[in-house]
Amino acid sequence: LFLSIFAGIDLGGTNIKIGLLTSEMKVLAQSSCRTESERGFDFVIGQMVAAVRALCGQNHVALASLRGVGIGCPGPLNLKEGRVIMMPNFPGWRDLPIREALHQAIGLPVVLENDANVAAYGEYRMGAGQGLKSLAMFTLGTGIGGGIVTNGQMVRGETDTAAEFGHIPMDLNGRLCGCGRRGCLEAYCGAPGLVKRFGEAVEDGRRSVLVGQGRKCEDLTAKDIFDAAAGGDALAGEIVDRTAYYLAVACDVVVNIVDPDIIVFAGGMTAAGDLLMKPLEKYARERFFPRPKVQTRLAISRLQGDAGIIGAALCAQNTFETSAS
Amino acid sequence: LFLSIFAGIDLGGTNIKIGLLTSEMKVLAQSSCRTESERGFDFVIGQMVAAVRALCGQNHVALASLRGVGIGCPGPLNLKEGRVIMMPNFPGWRDLPIREALHQAIGLPVVLENDANVAAYGEYRMGAGQGLKSLAMFTLGTGIGGGIVTNGQMVRGETDTAAEFGHIPMDLNGRLCGCGRRGCLEAYCGAPGLVKRFGEAVEDGRRSVLVGQGRKCEDLTAKDIFDAAAGGDALAGEIVDRTAYYLAVACDVVVNIVDPDIIVFAGGMTAAGDLLMKPLEKYARERFFPRPKVQTRLAISRLQGDAGIIGAALCAQNTFETSAS
C-alpha cells in the first residue's frame, strides 16, 4: 500500500508545530519545537527542516517520500511570491523569501499560506466545519486572526489581506491598535487588550479578587481574568461579558459580509467554554438579521491547536497531489 | 442569425427598470415604469409582465422567444425558495413567492437575485470591474446596499445575507438604524441620515446657505447638500467630508474581510464625483494595510442605473443558457 504523505508546518511566534498527514486525512504524527525567531531567519528555516526530518525518522517515513510541505505563517505575506512581508512577533523579519528558502533547505515542494487561513481550512475539512458549505474562524490569542472558507476554498483576497477579523472597528475613536488604527477588535479582545481593560477598571477604583496583596495588573494574563470570572469575580465577569459582546459585533459584521454556515472560535480563550460562548451567542443573535439569527452556527474549534498543521498539510495535498499515486 | 435574448428586471421601490440583453452582452433595449407597490403584489407582477411584453413588442422580439428572465429585488429574500421575506419600501409585502408568481404570469423561466448583488455582477462583467478578478460594490441611496463578486461568482452567503455593507458599524452607541442596530453606515450615509446630520448641525447653531429665508432642513435632499458643498458652503462641505470618511471606514472593513481588486460606488451621490471620491480615497488609503493601500482600486460605477438590469439579465443567461442555441 502506497500512501501519499504531506507535512504541515504551523510557524508561530513561540512554537513551531509540525504534523504528517496522509492523503486519507489521518494525522500520522506530530511534534513541536521552540521558534527562537530572535536567532534569525536561517536558523528558523533549519529548525523546521530538522523537525520535519526528525518526525519522519521517528515514524519510518523517508523525508524524500513526502509529496510536499504546507506552511502557515503569520502575515502580512505575499503568497504569490512566497514571501514574508513582515511578521509582528519575529524581530527584524522583513521581506523574506520563506517558500523558496524552505524548499531549498528541505528539497521538497512547499506551499505558503496565511496561518489563520490554514487553520480555518483545517477546521472546515476536519473539524467543526465538516459537512458544511462555508466557515469563518476567529483565532483568539495575543492577536486576533481570521480565516474564511467558501465554496471549498480559502478566501485569500487579491492582496492576501482577506479575513483580518482583528481589525473590524468597535469604536473609531477607541483604543489604539498595533496596526495604527483606533478601536480595532484586537485592541479590545486580544489578550493584552483584555488585560488592559481590566487594569483600567481597577485604576478607576473597581475591586477584584485578582488585585491587592501585592498583585499587580501588569502581571495578570487573560486566563487569570477568565478564571476569576468563572469563580464569580464581578469585575472579571464584566470584562469577559464585554469581550463576548465585541466578538458578537464582529461576528455580525462577518455574517453581513460573507454570511458563512458557521463561525468557529479557536485559541486559548475558548477554554473558557460557555463562560465566553453563552453571552457571545446571546449578543450575536440579538444583532443578526432574521435568517442568520436562526441558522448561522457559532461554535468552538474542534481541532484547536492542531487546526494549523492539519490545514497546512491539506493545502500541500491540494497543491501537490497528482492523480498518479 | 439566432440570438439568445434575456430580460433583466430591476425592481425598485419607486421604479421598475427592464432591459433586453443578447447573449453577446449587447443591451438591445430598455424601459422603465412606476412600481406603485402600494397597489399590491399582483399588480406589480402584472406591471412587470406588461413592461417586458411592451419592450419586446417595440423591438420585434417575440416574448416566447426570450430564454429567461432575471429579477433583482431588494431584500431580505430567500433565493433558494424564490421568495421575498420582506421589502422595506413595499408596504405589506411579506413572504411572497415572487419567482413563481412572475414565472406563471410571464410563461418564462425566472431567476431571482438580490438587487445589489446583480448590480455588482453587472458592474463586474460589463462595467468598472471588467477584466478584474473580484469586485465589491456599494449602492448609495436611501439605503446602502452591497454586492461582492469573487472567482466570477456573486457571493450570496448561506442565508442570502452577504454584502449587507449598509450595516457595517461606525459607532456601536450611535444613530439608530432602520434595522434596529445602532451606528450602522446606512444611518450616517444613507440619504436621510446625511440630511439628518446636516439638520442637527444647524440645530447646534451652524450656518449654511441652505437654511434661512424660510427653508427648512426637512425639505433638503442629499443632493442639495452635495451641491452646496460644491459651491463652497462650509457646513455642507464638512457633512460631505464626514460621509466620505465613513464610507472609507466601510471600504477598509470590506478589504480586511474579502479584499477585492476594486471597490465600486454607485447611486445618486456618486454624481458628486471628486467631491466625494477624493476625500474617500484619502481616508481609505490612510486606513488600508500596506498592500491594498497601493493596489486596491476605488472607482465610481460605469453602468450606474443600468447595472441592475444588465446584471439581472446576465444572471438569467448564466442560469438558462444551454449549449444548444
Question: How much is the ipTM here?
Answer: 0.94
Contact A318, A282 (CB under 8 A): no
Neighbours of A185 (CB within 10 A): 26
Does position B324 have pLDDT exceeding 70, yes or no?
A: no
Q: Residue B69 has which C-alpha cell?
A: 428572465
Between these two residues, A78 and B13, which has the higher pLDDT value? Answer: A78
Quick: pLDDT tens for B137-158: 999 998 999 999 998 999 999 9
Query: Does B167 sit within 8 Å of A169, measured CB to CB?
Result: no
Contact A238, A202 (CB under 8 A): no
What distance in Å separates residue A147's CA from the closest CA in chain B? 9
Q: Which helix H or strand E contains B22, and what residues bound it?
A: strand B15-22
pLDDT score recorded for residue A2: 65
Among residues of chain A, what percentage have pLDDT more than 90? 87
Query: Does A148 sit within 8 Å of B181, measured CB to CB?
Result: no
Enumerate the residues of chain B whose CB falls inside 8 A of the CB of residue A244.
Answer: none
Collapsed DSSP state (helix, strand, coil) of residue B121: helix
Does position A70 have pLDDT exceeding 80, yes or no?
A: yes
Nearest C-alpha neighbor of B113 from the set B89, B148, B144: B148
Does position B41 have pLDDT exceeding 90, yes or no?
A: yes
Neighbours of A285 (CB within 10 A): 16
- Phi, psi of A107, deg, nearest 5: 70, 25
Give which of A161, A164, A182, A189 to mutate to test B binding, by max B Cβ within 10 Å: A161
CB nearest A158 (choices: B134, B156, B161): B134
| Chain A, nearest residue to B253 by Cα | A168
What distance in Å separates residue A81's CA from the closest CA in chain B? 13
Quick: pLDDT tens for B148-197: 999 899 999 999 999 999 999 999 999 999 899 999 999 999 999 999 99
Q: Which helix H or strand E contains A252, and what residues bound it?
A: helix A234-257
pLDDT score recorded for residue B1: 52
Does position A89 have pLDDT exceeding 80, yes or no?
A: no
Q: Check if B150 contacts A (Cβ < 8 Å).
A: yes
Query: Does A181 sit within 8 Å of B258, measured CB to CB?
Result: no
Q: Check if A194 contacts B (Cβ < 8 Å).
A: no
Q: Check if B286 contacts A (Cβ < 8 Å).
A: no
Enumerate the residues of chain B whose CB falls inside 8 A of the CB of residue A290.
Answer: 76, 85
Contact B18, B48 (CB under 8 A): yes
Q: Check if B253 contacts A (Cβ < 8 Å).
A: yes
CA atoms within 13 A on the CB side of A25: 12
Compute CA distances B297 → B77, B103, B204, B290, B292, whole Å. Answer: 30, 39, 37, 13, 8
| Chain B, nearest residue to A149 by Cα | B258
Average pLDDT, chain A: 94
Number of A–B residue contacts, CB under 8 Å:
142
Q: Which helix H or strand E contains B256, and what residues bound it?
A: helix B234-257
Collapsed DSSP state (helix, strand, coil) of residue B75: coil
Contact A222, A194 (CB under 8 A): yes
Neighbours of A323 (CB within 10 A): 4
Enumerate the residues of chain B whose CB falls inside 8 A of the CB of residue A287.
Answer: 181
- The mean pLDDT of A229-257, rounded to a whole number, is 98
Q: Residue A40 has which C-alpha cell?
A: 534569525
pLDDT score recorded for residue B90: 84
Enumerate the residues of chain A whose CB falls inside 8 A of the CB of residue B291.
Answer: 76, 78, 85, 159-161
pLDDT score recorded for residue B2: 65
Quick: pLDDT tens for A3-54: 799 999 999 988 999 999 998 888 999 999 999 989 999 999 999 999 999 9
Q: Tell me the pTM.
A: 0.95
Does position A204 have pLDDT exceeding 80, yes or no?
A: yes
Residues 61-80 of A with CB under 8 A from B: 76, 78
Between these two residues, A90 and B266, which has the higher pLDDT value? Answer: B266
Q: Check if A259 contacts B (Cβ < 8 Å).
A: yes
| Chain B, nearest residue to A137 by Cα | B257
Q: Residue B262 has which C-alpha cell?
A: 476594486
- The mean pLDDT of A85-101, rounded to a whole number, is 89
Contact B306, B30 (CB under 8 A): yes
pLDDT score recorded for residue B218: 83
- The mean pLDDT of A288-310, rounded to a whole number, is 96
* Strand order across the A15-22 sheet: A27-34, A15-22, A5-11, A68-73, A110-114
Query: Does B150 sit within 8 Å of A155, measured CB to CB?
Result: yes
* Longest Cα–Cα distance in chain A: 68
Neighbours of A325 (CB within 10 A): 9
Q: Residue A78 has which C-alpha cell?
A: 505575499
CA atoms within 13 A on the CB side of B178: 16
- The mean pLDDT of B299-311, rounded to a whole number, is 96
**Nearby residues of A181 by Cβ (< 8 Å), 6 or more positions away:** A167, A169, B252, B287
Query: Does B260 sit within 8 Å of A159, measured CB to CB?
Result: no
CB nearest A291 (choices: B153, B159, B289): B159
| Chain B, nearest residue to A293 by Cα | B159
Enumerate the residues of chain B whose CB falls inside 8 A of the CB of residue A159.
Answer: 255, 259, 289, 291-292, 295-296
Q: Residue A295 has which C-alpha cell?
A: 441558522
Residues 89-148 of B with CB under 8 A from A: 133-134, 146, 148
* pLDDT-derived band at B217, boundaries 50, 70, 90: confident
Quick: pLDDT tens for A205-239: 999 999 987 788 888 999 999 999 999 999 999 99
| Chain B, nearest residue to A133 by Cα | B158
CA distance B49 to B105: 7
Enumerate the residues of chain B whose CB falls inside 8 A of the CB of residue A242.
Answer: none
| Chain B, nearest residue to A168 by Cα | B253
Q: Residue B310 has which C-alpha cell?
A: 444588465
CA distance A240 to A280: 10
Compute CA distances B13 → A189, B91, B173, whole Å. Answer: 41, 10, 30
Written as one string, the DSSP assignment of A135-177 is EEEEEESSSEEEEEEETTEE---TTS-TT-GGG-BSBTTSPBP
Residues 290-319 of A with CB under 8 A from B: 290-292, 295-296
Quick: pLDDT tens for B53-87: 999 999 999 999 999 999 999 878 999 999 999 88
Among residues of chain A, what percentage have pLDDT more than 70? 98
Length of chain A: 325
Quick: pLDDT tens for A135-181: 999 999 989 999 999 989 999 999 999 999 999 999 999 999 989 99
For residue A6, which amino acid is it? F
| Chain A, nearest residue to B292 by Cα | A159
Angle CA A217–A223–A227, to nearest 5: 95
| Chain B, nearest residue to A246 by Cα | B172
CB nearest A257 (choices: B156, B160, B257): B257
